[in-house]
Amino acid sequence: MSYEQYISRLENKSVSDALSSRVGLISKVLEKVEEENKWNYCYAENKWTAKQIVQHLIDCERIFSFRAMHIARKDDNPLFLFDENEYAKEADVTLKSQYDLFREYECLMTATYLMYKNFDENELKRSVAVAGNTINVETMGRIIAGHSLHHMDILEERYLRQKVK
């Protein structure tokens, strides 16, 4: 899978800045979802609800953050692949309150930012092969940031139908 669509959105920001600056934007979008009571809304059949999108972002960020730490710490064990659709199917978001989901994601984004803020240049440049593609710690952070922004665009365009400024 190509992650270039996520990486290219970051406009020459450092990975630390990209991870930090997204928190405010994502909070604005999720506050709008709350205001419009769109947490359980689906724009089409077989699409995820807004709650499922946030859970997907949480799951992916945890996995990608683990991968970044794994690479940064020179762990020789192989990294695993995951199927985002299987994860989504197994995550029962109906049991989570909107507040808890929103708060969990905010805390996770902050933790990811702090982890990256404290990686040194050598750690950021370390790389490993995952599914036949070589990736480094810095690029993994760019994927995390760009992936979350990609899904905020989807929430704005297809769930809220207007951009949050």
In angstroms, the CA 41 to CA 3 distance is 27
Tens digit of each residue's pLDDT (9 = 90 or more) over 9-61: 887 889 999 999 999 999 999 999 999 999 999 989 999 999 999 999 999 99
pTM, to two decimals: 0.92
- When comparing pLDDT for 79 and 155, which is higher? 155
Helix (H) or strand (E) segment spanning residue 4: helix 4-7
pLDDT at residue 139 is higher than 80: yes
DSSP state of 26: H
4-160 CATH fold: Four Helix Bundle (Hemerythrin (Met), subunit A) (1.20.120)
- Residue 121: per-residue pLDDT: 97
Per-domain boundaries in the chain: 4-160
- Residue 162: per-residue pLDDT: 52
Residue 2 three-state SS? coil
Average pLDDT of every residue of the chain: 91
Count the neighbouring beta carbons within 10 Å of the beta carbon of residue 126: 17
DSSP state of 9: G
Q: What are phi and psi of 76, to 5 degrees?
A: -85, -10
